[in-house]
Structure 1
Amino acid sequence: MKTIINRIKKLSFSILFIVALIGCDSKNKESIKDTQKATPQIALSVVIDSINSEISNGDYGLIDRFMVIQNDEVLADYKYKQDYETIVQKYDTTNHQYNFNSIEWHPYYKQTELHSLQSVTKSITSILLGIALDLNEDYNVDNKAMSLLTGYDNDFLDKRKQNISIEDLLTMRSGLQWNEETDHNDTTNDCFMLESSDNWIEYILSKPMDTIPGTRFVYNGGGTVLLGKIIRTITGKRIDHWAEEKLFEPLGITDYYWKETPDGEIDTEGGLYLKAEDLAKIGSLFLNKGNWNDKQIVSEGWVTTSTSSLLKNVKPQWQSVTGYGYQWWIPEYTDNGKTTIYSANGYGGQYLMIAPEHNLIIVFNGWNINDEPEKSTYRALQDRIIPALKHK
């Protein structure tokens, strides 16, 4: 299997042909549609061109990168320059890694090409846990989490807390009392308070229970932080070192950054920075069911379960039927539960979206944190790109 990075370095003639098609004028596009002679590939190139134009016009707000990859071919790779230094002048620009308007940290890390992934980090944390469980048969998702989180000043007298399993954390059903649905700058938001605390794990473990584990979905980044610590317990390695050895190095990802928390752990709920082309490699790994260059990085079973709609309709307020797996969102699935699209989603507009039926990967990086754009990149795959592929 040829890797994404090789494709980026040397595009084939067919890709250049598609890029040429992308540049066709609107009159030609309408002619194509009117005569009903467009192939799905041409229809896709027209849609890509349209999305790119709308991004350039500002319809999607602040977008930094837009990539489309199909069958290991890079069909589109657009970079957009935003003047964040000017944009954030009206906001607090204190230079701190958890101030989202600090241009030293967001959306790029210190003027590099490393882009904040925010909660896409959760999906990668899940992959790293899957690798750890694949390689350590003494542990599985049914293990109780608290027994793997020793050394903290919490007695876990509530038996419900003692019964939280690894799978409960993976599926956001820990039962811990947690509020992460308000604006991130809301000082009552648990994610805000977590990121303001000196000891993240102590903060999470101190939260009371409000329901039985495994019964109710509540979005909870703190649970993913606990998963990062559990990976350290299982492997004996902090997650950044585990990631380098077991995921990044095999995929040829050499440039990355992780935020470190005040207590010397790693921010596994939102602290990873990657280049967009390296994020696309994660998508390629999953499209190939955990295999990379004939080496199984993470088990096929973990990939399948992670991207299955284990929980259904978890976000009815999104006005779409959205499922959830092991730290992966399932924006679209069939009546019989088959996943047709799955995605890793992050604050500000970070999306790694995958449509297995079409062997398609979409990457968006953006930074829409202060204003709501007219159009949503989250809907671009379902509403525009896949319909183009079904064009007849």
Structure 2
Amino acid sequence: MAALSRRHLLAGLGAGIALPSAFPRAFAWAPPALAGAIDPAQSLAALERAGKLPGLHALLVSQGGKLVFEHYGEGEDEGWDRPLGRVVFGPDVPHDLRSVSKSIVGLAYGIALAEGKVPPTDAKLYARFPEYADLAVQPGRDKITIHHALSMTLGLDWEELAIVYGDPRNSETAMEAAHDRYRFILERPIAGEPGVKWTYCGGATALLGRLIARGTGEALPAYCRRVLFDPLGFGPSDWSIGQDGEPRAASGARLLPRDLVKIGQLMLANGSWNGKSIVPADWVKRVTTPVVPISFGRHYGYHWYMGDFATAQPLHWFGGVGWGGQYLFVIPARDLVVAIHCGNYQRSGREQTEVMLALMRDVVLPSFAA
């Protein structure tokens, strides 16, 4: 089951199920916009009593640009590469984003693009890495563009979904162990025509992070901090660094839960914050526009997922997904942002997805109408 775990995690977005116990702590509740909606605190407590929310660390909901619900738990946690022990979570306790980091890198690329510091989406990818000229001349690699990295349609041989993390056959694990992560990514065998098939690939994000750092002259975490986190008034943040000294662009970000909500609020406001454009509006639209189908009616844009919740009328969402139970959902029709943090790193992807679906189906969506 572990070998299929991430595939199950990604496949579950858009269904409607439930399953296994969380750690009750602080609740805050503001009345939803529509009379007759249920009390999310009561619904959440009922799910916890029923043992359907294992490993829940935090659930936050924003509507109309205001934080209307918070729940924090207590339980075992871990950073990207280290155990953290038992943690009592709260507004001032940062949490790993894991692969929700990818969606933040997608936004940072758009900011750098508007500044003219990174190549446009139609630029040839290998031409931007002249230090690997020996790879660039290999047949077929000249077809691969920045667009293919942003949409994870590189056409390279890469496997993260069917092989558990930590296994040396897992491509991200192998990338982290490589002496030169960028050569490792760029030398992967060609598996198909670029732009045709979506292949989940942390290596694509690593390449984008490298282009941002090279173009701006700042390390990726520092650039994100300056152009994205600070303008939104973020608290402390961190970004895991690999053994080669390079930031783990694909999965290394760590933020306060309320700050992750701000990312969703920024997206609902078309990239503006307090009247100032932070991410160009056309880039917000671009990253959340479907490029390639994944499965189960879901699509991938530029490092952002999108799909529909199976409600009476399909409810469109876009957002980010991270291992262990990290989710950011933006639901424009209800002006909602939902952030979920869990510590289910050792549970299967199916179990992680079932916790999320229980929260969305039984707590969030019935409680916060349009």
Q: How does 1:303-314 map onto structure 2 within 5 Å?
A: 303-312=284-293, 314=294
Out of 51, 64, 69, the position equivalent to 1:71 is 64
Higher strand share: 2
Give secondary structure in 2 for the equivalent of 1:61.
coil
Distance 1:65 1:131, change over 3 A: same
Distance 1:143 1:355, change over 3 A: same
Equivalent in the alignment of 1:46: 39
The alpha carbon displacement at 1:339 in A equals: 8.3
The alpha carbon displacement at 1:390 in A equals: 5.2
Distance 1:151 1:58, change over 3 A: farther
Equivalent in the alignment of 1:381: 360
Q: Distance in 1 between matches of 2:86 and 2:113?
A: 33
Q: Deviations over 1:96-145 (max 9, x none)?
A: x654xx31499999xx8221100000000000000011111883111111
The alpha carbon displacement at 1:192 in A equals: 1.6
Distance 1:82 1:163, change over 3 A: same
Equivalent in the alignment of 1:11: none
Q: Is 1:146 aligned to 2:146, yes or no?
A: no
Q: Is the 8 A contact 1:291 1:298 kept in 2?
A: yes
Q: Distance in 1 between matches of 2:280 and 2:77?
A: 40
Distance 1:379 1:165, change over 3 A: farther
Taking structure 2 as the reference length, the TM-score comes to 0.81
Q: Is the 8 A contact 2:99 2:321 kept in 1?
A: yes
Q: Distance in 1 between matches of 2:120 and 2:30?
A: 50
Q: Deviations over 1:206-240 (max 9, x none)?
A: 21111111111111111110010111232222211
Q: Distance in 2 between matches of 1:46 and 1:191?
A: 41
Q: Give the counterpart letter for 2:120 in structure 1.
A: N
Q: How does 1:1-392 map onto structure 2 within 5 Å?
A: 19=29, 40-43=34-37, 45-55=38-48, 58-84=51-77, 98-99=80-81, 102-104=82-84, 113-136=93-116, 139-152=119-132, 154-181=134-161, 182-312=163-293, 314-315=294-295, 320-332=296-308, 340-372=316-348, 373=351, 375-378=354-357, 380-381=359-360, 385-389=364-368
The alpha carbon displacement at 1:19 in A equals: 2.7
Alignment gaps of 5+ in structure 1: 1-17, 23-38, 86-96
The alpha carbon displacement at 1:47 in A equals: 4.2
Q: Distance in 2 between matches of 1:108 and 1:235?
A: 38
Q: Give the counterpart letter for 2:29 in structure 1.
A: V
Q: Deviations over 1:301-332 (max 9, x none)?
A: 110111122223x03xxxx3211111111022
Q: Is the 8 A contact 2:111 2:279 kept in 1?
A: yes
Q: Deviations over 1:151-181 (max 9, x none)?
A: 2474323232222111101111001110111
Q: Give the counterpart letter for 1:169 in structure 2.
A: A
The alpha carbon displacement at 1:77 in A equals: 0.5
The alpha carbon displacement at 1:52 in A equals: 4.3
Q: Give the counterpart letter for 2:136 in structure 1.
A: F
Q: Is the 8 A contact 1:98 1:195 kept in 2?
A: no
Distance 1:211 1:128, change over 3 A: same
Q: Percent identity?
A: 27
Q: Is the 8 A contact 1:107 1:116 kept in 2?
A: no
Alignment gaps of 5+ in structure 2: 1-27
Q: Distance in 1 between matches of 2:202 and 2:307?
A: 19
Number of positions where the alignment pairs a residue of Structure 1 with one of Structure 2 = 334
Q: Distance in 2 between matches of 1:58 and 1:281?
A: 30
Query: Which segments of structure 1 move beyond 4 Å, counting only runs of 4 or more?
Result: 105-109, 387-391
Q: Distance in 2 between matches of 1:384 and 1:129?
A: 34
Q: Distance in 1 between matches of 2:243 and 2:87?
A: 21
Q: Distance in 2 between matches of 1:105 and 1:115?
A: 13
Q: Distance in 2 between matches of 1:98 and 1:84?
A: 10
The structure with higher relative contact order (CA 8 Å, sep 6+) is 2
Q: Distance in 1 between matches of 2:323 and 2:282?
A: 28
Q: Deviations over 1:236-265 (max 9, x none)?
A: 222112112111111111410011123332
Distance 1:367 1:333, change over 3 A: closer
